[in-house]
Structure 1
């Protein structure tokens, strides 16, 4: 996996990752706060023979003291020493349990034995450390006296206290800061693992990269989510709002269309989607308006005869429209409605709903309407979704191709694959994919550049070479 994948994962799932970090850190803090506090006190003693006066004997005693100190470390950790401490301090515990609260070590290359005692209060830790070093001194004196057959006062090894324990000022456990940090790190790892797994298992299309992985149609453009805004957002004043940013995406889409084939750019195209609710009608209306803003004449045709939306989006009358023209009840010129604010922008609404939309759209009358409108300017056709019905595939075959609109974070990759497959089945061209409703935080949301439009030139064929094989059962 490339770095861009992890960057996209972090950007798409940073809320979940942050939540896991906070929850894990809070859990670590709560657990640490609930643990009993432990204080540690240190005392030390040194091993000596008590001899002196002769340099040679002193060196020998030093070597002997170092070797004996290692044995005394083990002596300090046995139950007999712990029993002396229990008697001294009057503790209500067992020798085995008390030994677990003591650490004994010989400082390297010295005769110093260090005692670290742990207890629930500072005073208890100090008393335990001092009592333990004293008990060890008693044990050593007893052992050495028994081994030599004479009293310790007449010679032999012994332990003298070199440093008494100080009263500890802060607990050594639990280490709240360390535990919280470890909890946060663990939460970050869990969050990242969750995000990666979610990204690998998530079939929803969220970014340009997700579309490009199909390698079946280029990304024609991306349009930011305009939220509750309805109608023509491309006519909003320039600014930093969502509608203004979405309008910039539409202008880039218009530019990308002109660069698909410089010598013969598409003049009639279908706007469709895999399923209902992807915003195809909004994209169609705003793309047509954007083209009109550039000074080029354009006609928007509402060919979604099942769920027409263009008239509602633009606030127009839908009493007459495309179906009246196709059935011969009205001339095309009489059915066209000019947009009140955009010169050169004409709209052909759907008109009354027919009982047989596919048959009406797959007719010579429809082809004549498209050719007549094409001769007067660009034609943008809002068609039904590809997966439920065949209408869009029929229309795409009679035009220069189709733009497939998908919803970021909603459309599944299988839906896009199926929609493009329906176009392939009738040898219609997929001009590109429009990634709609993109969040500003999504990777690639601000990248409106077009990709790979050589695919358009490679798939462009004369109409005579395109075989019309639309069958409802196959789709």
Structure 2
């Protein structure tokens, strides 16, 4: 994976990743609060080899002291020294336990021995460090001068620096613990996001669809919480301006898909219900009508019709009545009150055999007839539950497949495209619906009172309208 792939994975699963980081930091904080405070104090002793007035002897004594200091480091960690400290301080503690609180260090090329004592209180740490240097000096004296004669030149240890009272604990270390918690949480968050991206089959990225399924992204429609009906209008509604602009872009993209042979009959479907295909079909038709092009919107979802209700029109007679010869097309077509160039053909009565009606020669002839007067948009049923949309696509110039951002599975889209391919249908592109918002209209246009004027597009040949009925 490249760095960009990690960034996409984190963006797709940012909430879970953020929770992991927060939990890791909180855990580090809780661990820090539950740990006892430990204070450390340092005391130092100097290894001496007796006084020497001759410079040559002084150099030899210094070298001898440095060499013996290495040996005294081991002696300082012995049980014998610990026993002397216990007796001196009157501690009720074992020698092994006390040795665990002591760290001995001898800096290279020096005769200094540093004793670091750790304890739960500053005073105890200071007393332990001083007592340990004193006990070490006594133990070395027992070894180097067992008779206690105090002969000149005998090697010993002199305490040279008493321990200072520590003001702050050395453990726990809140800053370090929180930093480590943040680092560990970040690594776990990245691992979580990458793993979720590998097993999460929901579609979120344009390039993922274009790369895996070799179909273009025809448009991206931002999410519209609680808004229904037409989102496209000639005036600015700051709640739906970006959605209206998205449908205008979709309209323009359609005109560039095949300049020499632009599509006249377009089926709009989706893999599953609730992907917003009817809303996309209605608003795409409205966007085309606003550009000055004649367009007919057909409710081809004979099982669950919704176009008439969505546009506030009469459901009544419609497509099925025309196909079975019970009504004339001119009698059931409805003009939209606010969009003169938009004509709507409702679904009509619910038939027992929707697939047969939609695949009939009558349906094919109806689409050809309407395509002579303008663009035709057909709101078709979802592809996976029924075959109606695939049947309609056989008689159309292409299909737009609507998928829900972060909801539609890649397997659902793959199966939908497979069904269209099986009937030799043409896929014009994928419409990404309910895409999370990025920017609002004020970010670019400020606070306009009118939207930018729609530019005409050559979506279809022929701009004539059916005469008023």
Both proteins in one fold, TM over 0.5 = yes
Runs of 4+ deviating beyond 6 Å: none
Pair 1:253 & 2:268 matched: no
Distance in structure 2 (CA, Å) of the matches to 1:153 and 1:101: 34
| Alpha-carbon distance, 1:198 to partner | 0.3
- 1:141 matched residue in structure 2: 141
| Alpha-carbon distance, 1:240 to partner | 4.8
> Mean alpha-carbon deviation: is it higher for 210-219 or for 370-379?
210-219
Contact 1:220-1:253 within 8 A present in 2 as well: yes
SS in 1 for 2:212: coil
Q: Aligned to 2:338, which of 338, 341, 346?
A: 341
| Alpha-carbon distance, 1:154 to partner | 3.8
| Alpha-carbon distance, 1:324 to partner | 1.2
| Alpha-carbon distance, 1:441 to partner | 5.6
| Alpha-carbon distance, 1:360 to partner | 1.1
Distance in structure 2 (CA, Å) of the matches to 1:295 and 1:279: 25
| Alpha-carbon distance, 1:150 to partner | 6.0
| Alpha-carbon distance, 1:2 to partner | 2.5
- 2:49 matched residue in structure 1: 49
- 2:464 matched residue in structure 1: none
| Alpha-carbon distance, 1:49 to partner | 2.1
- 2:198 matched residue in structure 1: 200
- 1:446 matched residue in structure 2: none
Give the 5 Å matches for 1:213-292: 213-235=211-233, 237-238=235-236, 240-241=238-239, 243-292=240-289
Contact 1:12-1:441 within 8 A present in 2 as well: no
| Alpha-carbon distance, 1:10 to partner | 1.7
Contact 1:152-1:158 within 8 A present in 2 as well: no
- 1:350 matched residue in structure 2: 347
Which whole-Å deviations, capped at 9, do the CAs of 1:355-375 have from their partners, x for residues lacking one? 111111111211121111100
Pair 1:439 & 2:439 matched: no
Alignment RMSD: 1.5
In structure 1, runs of 5+ residues without a counterpart are 443-475
- 1:397 matched residue in structure 2: 394
- 1:323 matched residue in structure 2: 320
Contact 2:50-2:152 within 8 A present in 1 as well: no
Give the 5 Å matches for 1:70-469: 70-146=70-146, 151-235=149-233, 237-238=235-236, 240-241=238-239, 243-440=240-437
SS in 2 for 1:355: coil
| Alpha-carbon distance, 1:16 to partner | 1.6
Which whole-Å deviations, capped at 9, do the CAs of 1:276-313 have from their partners, x for residues lacking one? 11111000000000000000000000011000010110
Distance in structure 2 (CA, Å) of the matches to 1:153 and 1:33: 55
- 2:444 matched residue in structure 1: none
| Alpha-carbon distance, 1:214 to partner | 2.5
In structure 2, runs of 5+ residues without a counterpart are 440-469
Distance in structure 1 (CA, Å) of the matches to 2:422 and 2:381: 17
Contact 2:234-2:290 within 8 A present in 1 as well: no
> Mean alpha-carbon deviation: is it higher for 431-440 or for 84-93?
431-440
Distance in structure 1 (CA, Å) of the matches to 2:83 and 2:429: 85
SS in 2 for 1:40: strand
TM-score using structure 1 length: 0.90
TM-score using structure 2 length: 0.91
| Alpha-carbon distance, 1:437 to partner | 1.0
| Alpha-carbon distance, 1:209 to partner | 2.1
